[in-house]
A and B are shown apart, each in its own frame.
Chain A
Amino acid sequence: MTAMFELWNLTAAVPGEAGAVRLVEDVSLQVQTGETLAIVGESGSGKTVTFTSALGLLPKPGRVIAGQALLEGEDLLRLSLEELRRRRGARIGMVFQDPLTGLNPVFRIGDQIIEVLRAHLPISRAEARERAIALLARVQIPDPARRVDDYPHQFSGGMRQRVLIAMAIALGPRVLIADEPTTALDVTVQAQVLDLLTDLREADGMAMVLITHDLGVVARQADRVAVMYAGRVVETGTVDEVFRAPRHPYTISLFRSIPDMESPAGAKLAPISGAPPDPARRPAGCAFAPRCFAMREDAGCLRERPDLTADQHAVACHRAGLLEVAP
């Protein structure tokens, strides 16, 4: 089965004092219709940059220097700006992190949805308004016929995120990228928004990419997961595989640093010591080596960058096969 959205060897960089600084490097990911791929990693690991650069939204002076971003087999990075603009919103939608500022404060909710519809479809204002109300109903905004004329400040954070989701799915995109869609929301609202996203994905047969740093969200919502560290994918597989038997020392450390209901009271968490490397000064070998519990000089950890293995549950670690660690 061919993937709906595929990234192949995507590398994006910003110019630095000593040559290009690579923000993401050699990222390859695939998402299929009806599937949710979760991207996890700490802040600055390149989760967001990967997808903004695939959509041509990377802020200047950043740019993609290598790789492909295939949407239904068509490389987005080879399209003209105008062709790319027509794909955005229509074929591929994106929901951003901060719903509180994601809507233009000076226009009514309805007008903003109408604008999206009319930017892509030759329909009248009245028709677009009907569809806007239907969309608000789909994302479970109560009383949509009335709320359509409200301003963003009259909506709560969770409702605004629903509006943004409505705008992202307005044209029935094949792929929906949700970039930490619940980070700014209350815990109780988070689950509702995530369930809504999953329902919509199932109903519309979309492929979904869910960017998050919450492993609990991954376990509940995703089918497959890719773990990113320092601009690279270090481990990828089905959620089952990765959660049952993580293979990369970074993934293993991530699981160890999460509080567990079962652990005895007063037990200490195991944080990962140190900080992720500055993209301009990444170590020569494996980027995780300085913080890695399994690092061994004789395994080449400090000299050579490990490649992602080719298996279904892939990992980029020199010592992966030698580790026997239960999470």
Chain B
Amino acid sequence: MTAITEAEEALEDNAARKRATLRQYLRHPGFMIGAIGIGLLVLVALFAPWIAPHSPTRTDLMNTLAQPSATYWLGTDQFGRCVLSRLIHGAQVSLQVGFYVVLISLSAGTLLGAIAGYAGGFVERALVAIIDIMLAFPSFLLALALVAARGNTLDSIILAVAIAYTPRVAAVMRSVVLTIRPRPFIEASRAIGLSTWKILIRHVIPNALPPVIVVATVSAATAILAEAGLSFLGLGVQPPTPTWGNVIAEGQTAITTNPLISLSAGLCIAFTVIVLNLLGDGLRDTLDPQMRRNTGKLL
């Protein structure tokens, strides 16, 4: 009987703790704006076919470069395609790029950085040299080269950007692991006879994750920017697939008469990058209160 009540109390303690953590997030304005913004974008991307008023690729040649109207809220481009619908569908590409790039670069970077930081010696020097070389190499150029080599499908763009961003995550991960390696619970784990892999995965990586997650959120923003940049240069996802970068590039020809086309796509990119950065700031403040700084913060 007592055992049951004790277990229940323990459960309640845990629930209370979770509620307290949740409150901390809810009270952070930047985090909330970021989270709501991302949530909206995800909804738009998921329900794009139902939200978009027109097909993003259907041309209306009677209404090319139309000004905003009740039918075409943001007007049409030079092929008479609905700009708003193209932007709504473009969110799919941008968010996919952001999501997969973070997934790949976070996993690979975490593992590489953790191995480099924990192994020490020759392994560390070799991995750090590789990471440094990749960091020194302009990431946009690397992405360009990979797209040129593999062809410009969405997969290769994601892969290219992910490869470019992996060393950044790895570098942060390694520096955090260096501060964790000398901590006594790592030595204790070794004395207890845990294998190196187990120590790495169970003890080193979970303790090193918070700053890395923050870096990952910000890299999602820069990855989306990189994709838009590649698309703008014609090296991204090929037209007529709508992406924000494509819309900017196509709007360029009519920028003097219909500036709204490029401008609205640019605003979409800016919005996404800002909400991701706000989310990253919020995560940083909540995951790692000691790192909280008041400088250079928007909210």
Contacts and interface: CB of A to CB of B under 8 A. Distances in A.
A116 B7 contact: no
Interface in A125-160: 143, 145-146, 149
A60 B120 contact: yes
Interface residues of B, number: 25
A57 B193 contact: no
B109 to A, nearest CB: 20
Interface residues of A, number: 32
A149 B14 CA distance: 9
B150 interface: no
A146 B198 contact: no
A27 interface: no
B193 A106 contact: no
Interface in B137-183: 183
A55 interface: yes
A88 B207 contact: no
A168 B198 CA distance: 18
Contacts of B198: 115, 119
A93 B191 contact: yes
A145 B7 contact: yes
B191 A101 contact: no
A101 B190 CA distance: 14
A282 interface: no
A96 interface: yes
Nearest to B202: A115
A104 interface: yes
Contacts of B183: 101
Interface string B2-21: 01001101100010000000
Contacts of A146: 6-7, 9-10
A88 B9 contact: no
Interface in A87-142: 87-90, 93-94, 96-98, 101-107, 115-116, 119-120
A324 B9 CA distance: 66
Contacts of B188: 94, 96, 102-103, 164, 167
Contact of A145 (B3, B120, B192, B206): B3
B93 to A, nearest CB: 36
Contact of B192 (A60, A101, A106, A167): A167
Interface of B is mostly: helix
B121 A101 contact: no
A96 B193 contact: no
Given A104-B207, A145-B6, A146-B7, A88 B185 contact: no
Contacts of A143: 6
A96 B195 contact: no
A102 B184 contact: yes
A85 interface: yes
A105 B185 CA distance: 9
A2 B45 CA distance: 74
B184 A98 contact: yes
Contacts of B184: 96-98, 101-102
A107 B188 CA distance: 14
Interface string A231-246: 0000000000000000
A157 B93 CA distance: 52
Contact of A90 (B9, B14, B193, B202): B193
Given A104-B203, A115-B198, A119-B192, 17 more contacts: A57-B190, A60-B120, A87-B193, A88-B190, A88-B192, A88-B193, A94-B191, A96-B187, A101-B184, A102-B184, A104-B189, A104-B202, A115-B202, A116-B192, A119-B198, A145-B7, A146-B7
Interface of A: 55, 57, 60, 85-90, 93-94, 96-98, 101-107, 115-116, 119-120, 143, 145-146, 149, 164, 167-168
Closest 8 CB pairs of A and B: A89-B193, A88-B193, A89-B192, A94-B191, A101-B184, A102-B184, A104-B185, A146-B6
